[in-house]
Amino acid sequence: MDLDRAKEMIKAIPYMSKTIVDDTLFEKVLSFLVMVLTSDPDAVEAFEQIGIYNHIRKACQIKDQDYRVITISTRLLGHFIKAGGRFEQLEQDYPDLLDLVTTGLRSSEPALRCSCLQACTLFVSCERGQNWLYNNQQAASFIALALLDQSRYVVSEACRLFTILLMIKSPVSDVLDPSAQIKSILSVHTNPSQVTAALEFCWSIISQKDPITLDYLHRTQLLFPTIPLLCSAHRMIRARVIEILSVLFSWDPDPIQTLGLRNVQKSPIDGVYRIMLDLGKEMLMAQDGSLDQVMTGVSLLETSIELLKRMDSPDTQEMVQLIVTLIDICLNRYVSMTEGRHIQSLLKTPRMKNNVLQLCLRILHALILIRPILLEDKHLVQSILTVLQCTDAYMDQRVMKSELDLLQASFPYLTCKLQVIQLVIDVMNRDEMDVKGMSLVLDTFDVFLNDENISGIESSSLDALVSALQLKFLDTEWDVRDAAIQFVGQLFKEPISEAKVSFALKYDLPLNVLDRISDTEPFVRASAVDVVQNMMRSRQGWDYMQQHQESREFLASRLPSLLYDTEAFVRRATLDAIGCLIEKRSCQGMHMDIESKSQSLNPDIIKRLVDDQDPDVRVRGCRLIEHLWHLYVHEKHEQKKRTNYVPQSVFFEHIQAGELLTLAANDTHRLIRIESIRIIEGILKEPLRDKSGKRELEAEDEFESKFLDMLSSIDIEQKKQTLDPEHIYEETFDINADLMINRMTKMTEEMSLDCE
């Protein structure tokens, strides 16, 4: 079916309408054709039989053709060759198509240049394609120019082509080798756009992290001119060089040789670290330096961390002292160094100081992960904690996140845990704290509670934390209340932490969450229900809820009442929670009414949920029926074993489950059909047998017979045909050859169809 459809689409490509506004339609057409080529083993032969080359030629030769049609045509040509199409036939019978690809490399349209480069990249997957490119001097010269193109996408594709040729050791890479030109541009660096393109080429080679590309770097000395670019006046150039060095330092066994530097240490890793540290200090302390130099110097120090990770016994003392000095400068603390005062004069605004400060905190974070013993330095710890006492610093989200990430990593090794907790609580209580900062602070406390020594901390500190948290449950801003609820929910998430759960239950935090079930803000109500579900899945959380009247009342009446909520996301969360209760066979106290009583779980509300306007609610409505069926089967079995057992299974007999699942199986939404068919199949195929092999449940009464017969009457196989993901094409944008093209027969204007 897909193959036939693909063949018709190929025939229609030459006639795709110029009036199509949506560019993504062209991409969807190509994506579908490539999918068929790669997944159907008969596709190449079938496409050859319909004359794919002829159709591509026709598409490209039409006068004033839409460049988008030519773009997908050239890329389709490349994909066809890569999938197994005969390149020799292309060379012999359709040389004009290859000429089109060559000339397209210098098109005025960037998208066409990029597509022709992609075609060349796909051609080299076969030896004949490599030979064609090897002998095509014009294409080689155009590809060399593409490496310095104004379009970033064209440059990226040209780099990818050369890298692939290099990795497969194709002789074409020698023909196309642009290293001399790249080095010349990097050495002169007068044209920023060309320098950026040249650095993109360097990046594409380095990012392969392969001995082949490393050998190329050594042979060509490609990176020798990069270090001086750290002093470039252009921020993007400096940033790209830093990125290149960072990747290089993470894997190159000898960066000294690759960068063309002089080693002063025995180890090349130690040597390049010493060079980078000295260079960073020089950029920071230069009396005639600029703010850009300061930022680059700090970034260079951060990049050097990659080298420290690879050293057996790294000496970090000098870097730590430098970073602590920079933090003191950013926090306006006294600095005795003359060079430090110079930096202080450059950092004129809080924003400038925070730019440097957040980088310094990130560096310390990385250093502590390498050497936790650094936290024995009290001056270092004090510098870290001082950040939390500076309003200008912690009100910057970047600084706040970096500081709290650092504290999370440091907390297990700190001896001043009480001081840290109190400082973070003080920050949380500040009036200026917004919800993003609040979420970061609560996430930090979540990590603190993981600490194995948290139980030994004085209860007064945890009391202060809970007092601050309880105020957030009552905050006037709904998103702050939501953040507090989410924090409690995290305490019960898998994998369960005994320390976290004990903390939550000791301070009755679940009751604070239950109070928010009736919040005026729907998002808060939904979050509260979701957190209650997390608590129910935890054994300790469930035991706690059973012991408290308020939580038992919630499960009995308030939870079902939320099925009537006006907001879909509240109904979704409620259905998940009820499903969890039923799945755990813990719904005995929940109000299930056969009659249509308001605010209860009854047949009418279930019918409404399966027919809800929100697709996700409908999916969950189907799952609720599945859970109720399993409860029905379970209670039938229990009733047989225990004569005094009082079941709730009669409820299932009144919800019209068969009719509702049949309705869902015919839903217009594909995901709902998928879920309903899964449930129906599960019910019909369920192995309801005991250990002896004897069937536990037969259709013993009229209800069961009718229910199972109704499900059996559904043509499952026919329904499954509509569940294939490829039907997304038809459901969402309906790729149809007749709609892609203009009519080839003459029609009057009144008879013409709008193909857009």
Query: In this predicted model, what pLDDT tens digit does every residue of 23-51 receive, in sequence order?
Result: 888 899 999 999 999 999 999 999 999 99
DSSP helix/strand/coil, 21: coil
The mean pLDDT of 196-220, rounded to a whole number, is 95
Better-scored residue on pLDDT, 363 or 670 = 363
Cα→Cα distances 104→75, 96, 100, 139, Å: 12, 12, 6, 10
Question: Is residue 694 predicted with pLDDT exceeding 80?
Answer: no
Residue 335's pLDDT band (cuts 50, 70, 90) = low
Structure tokens belonging to residue 65: 């053709």
What's the topology of domain 416-546?
Leucine-rich Repeat Variant (1.25.10)
**Alpha carbon 674 to its chain's center:** 25
Q: What's the pLDDT band for 690 if we cut at 50, 70, 90?
A: very low
Q: How far apart are CA 403 and CA 21, in angstroms?
A: 48
The domain segmentation of the chain, as residue ranges, is: 262-411, 416-546, 548-688+697-723
pLDDT in tens, 158-176: 999 999 999 999 999 999 9
Q: Residue 450 and residue 524: Cα distance in Å, rounded?
A: 26
CB atoms within 10 A of CB 552: 13
Within this chain, domains 416-546 and 548-688+697-723 share the same CATH topology = yes
| pLDDT tens digits, 296-327 | 999 999 999 999 999 988 889 999 999 999 99
pTM: 0.82
pLDDT at residue 139, rounded to an integer? 93
Position with higher pLDDT, 79 vs 393? 79
Contact 579, 624 (CB under 8 A): yes
Residue 719 has pLDDT above 90, yes or no: no
- Chain centre to alpha carbon of residue 552: 39
- For the chain, give the percent of residues with pLDDT over 70: 91
Q: What is the pLDDT of residue 698?
A: 54
Of 456, 438, 458, 434, nearest in space to 446 by CA: 438
Measured CA to CA, the distance from residue 473 to residue 480 in angstroms comes to 8
Q: Which two tokens stand for residue 358?
A: 């957040």
Tell me which CATH code domain 548-688+697-723 carries: 1.25.10.10
Read off the pLDDT of residues 260-292 as tens digits, 9 standing for 90 and up. 998 777 789 999 999 999 999 999 988 787 899
Range 40-45 contact pairs with CB under 8 angstroms and sequence separation of 24 or more = 40/2, 40/3, 42/3, 43/3, 43/6, 43/83, 44/80, 44/83, 44/84, 44/85
